[in-house]
Amino acid sequence: MRPSMRIRQGMVWLTAIIAATWSSLAMAAAPVIVLPLTGAIGPASAAYVIHGLQQARAQGAQLVVLQMDTPGGLDASMRQIIQAILSSPVPVAGYVAPGGARAASAGTYILYACHVAAMAPATNLGAASPVSIGIGGHAPSPPSPGDAAKPASAPAASSSNEDTLARKQMHDAAAYIRGLAQLRGRNADWAERAVREAVSLDAPEAANQHVIDLIASDTPDLLKHVDGRALRTSRGLVTLHTAGAPTVVLEPDWRNHFLGVITDPSLALLLLTVGVYALIFEFSTPGMVVPGILGAMCILVALYGLQMLPINYAGLALIALGLGCMVAEAFLPTFGALGVGGIVAFVLGAVMLIDTQTPGFGVPLPLIIGLAFVSLTVVLAVSSLAVRARRRPMVTGGDTLIGMTGEVVDVDTSDADADSDGWARIHGERWRVRCDAGMARGDQVRVIARHGLTLLVEPAEPVAASA
C-alpha cells in the first residue's frame, strides 16, 4: 500500500475519532431539565409542561425529567401534555417522586407516554378509570367475570344514555393507554386493567410487571440508570450521556401561577359574583368609577378562567340568570321575589357549573352555600329598605302640602268674591290660595286640597288661650 493511501486512511480514522469524541463531550455537557409536576393536572399544568419542553429544546438539553406527584386531572390537559411528549425531539423521563408521591389517573397515562418510566420507592401509580361526567353521572362498574367470555365487539346491555356514554369513555380510555403502552413496549394488559378495573401498583410490583422501566431513589440515581440508553424520539435515535450531567430545575413562572389561580373554579365563581355586586354598586351610585372598573375586570378574568375549563353551559346560564335577578331586585320593587328566585338559580348553576367530577376541579358546596347566604342577606337588606321607604310619609312633591298651615299675605280684591282668593305663604313658598269661607290678610289657613297651582284652604283652628 502506498504511503499516501496509509496517510489518507489515517486521517479518515483520526477525523472519525475526533468527531465521536467531540459528540460525546457535547452530549455529556448538555444539561438535564427537571420539570416538577405536582397537584391536579389542568390548563396551567399543560401550559407549564409544553413551555418546559420548548425551553429544553432551545437550551439543547439531552433529557427532560418530568417529576410527577399528581392525583389526576382533566382529560383535555392530559392529552395536550402527552401530545407534547410524543412530538418532543428531547427524550422525556417520567419520574414519580419523591417517596409517597403518586401518578394516579391522568398521571398514569403521562407516565406511559414518556420515553423512560421510573418511580421512587414508596410511590404508586394506577387507578386510571375515566371519571364520570355531568351531574348525576356514575362511574362505570368493573366488568363481571362473565363479560370476559364475550367478544370485545359485543354490545353491552345499556339501561340509559348515561350507561352508553360511560361505556364509550371506558373503551376510548382503554384503547388510548394500550396504544401508549405498545408504543413504549410496556405492559399493555395491566394498563388496560388500570383503566377498566382502577387497579394500582407500588414501585416494586410495577417494575416486576414491566409497567415501568426502573426504580431510582432520586434524580442523580435516575440519571445514572439511564446513562448510555438509546431512546427513539421524533428526531430519531438519541443516546444519553447523563452520568454527572448538570441538572436545571425549571419552576413554574408567574404566568403559570396566575393561570393556575384563575382556572380554579371556586375562585372564578367568586370573582364572577364579586364583579356583579361591584357593578350593582356602581350603577346605584353613578360616578364612583372604581367599583365599575374593578367589577368589569373581575367578570372578564372569571370568564377567561372558565373558558379554559370543562364547564356546563346550562349551569353558566343559570348563574347568569340568578345574578341578573339579583341585580333587578336592587332596582325593581319586587320585595324579594326576584332576589330569592335569583339565589335559587345561582345555587343550581354553581352546582352544575363544572362538567367533571375530577378531584381538584369542583366547586365546594360550602362555598356555594356561603355565596348564597351573602346574596340572601343583601336581598333581604334591600327588600327591608324598600318596605321602610314605602311606609314613610312623602317628603317631596305637591301632595306633601296637604295638611300644612300658612299665613295669608294678600287678598285679591279684583274679583266679586274678594275675600275668597288670594296669596299665602306656606312651607316657605308663596302660593295662590282659595278659601270658600273667606279670608283676610294675616289669617292662618290650612291646606285641604290642590288643583294645579292653586291650593284650597280652610281657616286654621285658633290656638286655645292659656288659662
Write out pLDDT tens, residues 50-59: 999 999 999 9
Instruction: State the pLDDT confidence band at 183, using cuts at 50, 70 and 90.
Output: very high
Asked whether residue 310 falls in the same domain as residue 413, the answer is no
**What does each C-alpha distance from 275 to 296, 303, 377 come to in angstroms?**
6, 11, 17
Q: Is residue 17 part of a domain?
A: no
Q: Is the pLDDT of residue 137 over 50?
A: no
Instruction: State the pLDDT confidence band at 8, using cuts at 50, 70 and 90.
Output: low
How big is the CA angle at 156 (ends 150 and 159), to the nearest 5 degrees? 155
Q: Is the pLDDT of residue 241 over 80?
A: yes
Q: Which of 236, 255, 274 is the last residue of a domain?
A: 255
Average pLDDT of the chain is: 81
Mean local confidence (pLDDT), 260-281: 86
Q: Which of 391, 420, 438 is the last residue of a domain?
A: 391
From CA 264, how far away is CA 267, in angstroms rounded?
5
Asked whether residue 121 falls in the same domain as residue 213, the answer is yes
Helix axes 43-58, 75-86, angle to 10 degrees: 10
- Containing structural domain, residue 351: 263-391
Asked whether residue 331 falls in the same domain as residue 250, the answer is no
Asked whether residue 240 falls in the same domain as residue 321, the answer is no
Confidence (pLDDT) at 357: 63
Q: Is residue 12 part of a domain?
A: no
Report the candidate in 200, 183, 187, 189 with the shortest Cα–Cα distance to residue 107: 200
Asked whether residue 40 falls in the same domain as residue 120, the answer is yes
Q: Is residue 153 part of a domain?
A: no
Confidence (pLDDT) at 133: 38
Q: Is residue 284 part of a domain?
A: yes
Highest mean pLDDT among 51-60, 135-144, 353-362: 51-60
Confidence (pLDDT) at 180: 94
Asked whether residue 36 falls in the same domain as residue 72, the answer is yes
Q: Is the pLDDT of residue 327 over 80?
A: no
Asked whether residue 65 falls in the same domain as residue 203, the answer is yes
Asked whether residue 220 falls in the same domain as residue 106, the answer is yes
- Our CA dihedral for 98, 261, 112, 216, rounded to 10 degrees, sits at -10
Mean local confidence (pLDDT), 457-461: 84
Instruction: State the pLDDT confidence band at 13, using cuts at 50, 70 and 90.
Output: low
CATH number at residue 415: 2.40.50.140
Q: Which of 391, 418, 451 is the last residue of a domain?
A: 391
Q: Is residue 465 part of a domain?
A: no
Asked whether residue 299 falls in the same domain as residue 347, the answer is yes
Candidate from 61-65, 207-211, 225-229, 417-421 with smallest mean pLDDT: 417-421
Q: Which residue has the higher pLDDT, 223 or 10?
A: 223
Mean local confidence (pLDDT), 274-303: 85
Asked whether residue 344 falls in the same domain as residue 381, the answer is yes
Q: Which residue has the higher pLDDT, 145 or 244?
A: 244
- pTM of the prediction? 0.67
Count: domains in the chain: 3
Q: Which residue has the higher pLDDT, 164 or 295?
A: 295
Candidate from 67-71, 394-398, 456-460 with smallest mean pLDDT: 394-398
Q: Is the pLDDT of residue 212 over 60?
A: yes
Confidence (pLDDT) at 134: 37
CATH number at residue 108: 3.90.226.10
Confidence (pLDDT) at 396: 57
**What tens digit of pLDDT does each residue of 364-423 get?**
888 888 888 888 887 777 667 666 766 666 555 566 778 888 888 888 776 555 567 888
Q: Is the pLDDT of residue 359 over 60?
A: yes
Q: Is residue 18 part of a domain?
A: no
Asked whether residue 357 falls in the same domain as residue 405, the answer is no
Asked whether residue 102 falls in the same domain as residue 211, the answer is yes
Contact yes or no for 74/311 (Cβ under 8 A): no
Q: Is residue 14 part of a domain?
A: no
Q: Is residue 108 part of a domain?
A: yes
Confidence (pLDDT) at 213: 94
